Amino acid sequence: MRENIRPFLASSYVVAALAVMFWLTSMTVQAQHISPSLKEKELEPFRHTPFGMYLTAQETYAAITTNPSIVFVDVRDPFELVYVGHPEPMDANIPLSLVSRRFNDKLGLYERDPNKNFVAEFDQFIKRSGFSKSHPIILACREGRRSSAAAKLLHDAGYTTVWHQVTGFLGKIDPETGKRTAEQSWVNAGLPYRHTIKRGAEWRPLER
């Protein structure tokens, strides 16, 4: 009886090994679809991440349209996505922080409160999507500050393949005009965007 089982077990191990090899190969193929041109030394320090992997808006769009399995996450406040717009396509909105009602006179802006559940919500999304922490991920925000901070948190949480779309959705403010036209952000590059959020991509606060 045991002798009959051994060939079956051996074949099962072979199938399992082939499945793992296929999975690893698919991860490699996904990574190959990302072709970066940016170097960290060319970027402002506030856009640096522990991963050292950076993309322009155009490179991000090329990567996610060539291989839709790459995860693209916008870490801005959900209301920004609706009233200002967000990249299309987008897989999820997981905010790093949320706009408060406290007005900062010096900055002329409303202050933001950190989303203390950011990493837990990211973990929840990745698990729900059937991915692992090694799956290719691209982060974006408005101009690269929040997405950089988000990348640092994910790095500390054990994620290994996180790219940073450095200029964000709108980019930096041009000091001469006061408008966000200083660089090739998602909008300035003429890439597709929308204001309504597709079902399944909306922010899902941590389930208690």
Residues 6 or more apart whose Cβ sits within 8 Å of residue 142: 76, 80, 84, 168, 169, 170
Q: Which two tokens stand for residue 71?
A: 């995860």
Mean per-residue pLDDT, 66-81: 96
Euclidean distance between CA atoms 53 and 197, whole angstroms: 27
pLDDT tens string 140-156: 999 999 999 999 999 99
pLDDT tens string 155-208: 999 999 999 999 999 987 777 777 676 678 999 999 999 999 999 999 999 865
By residue count, the chain amounts to 208
Q: Which residue bears the tokens 């998602």?
A: 186
Residue ranges per structural domain of the chain = 1-32, 34-194
Q: Pick 34-194's CATH classification: 3.65.10.10, 1.10.490.10, 3.40.250.10, 1.20.1250.20.
A: 3.40.250.10
DSSP code for 1: -
Task: Give pTM, 2 decimals.
Answer: 0.81
Q: Which residue bears the tokens 């051996």?
A: 10
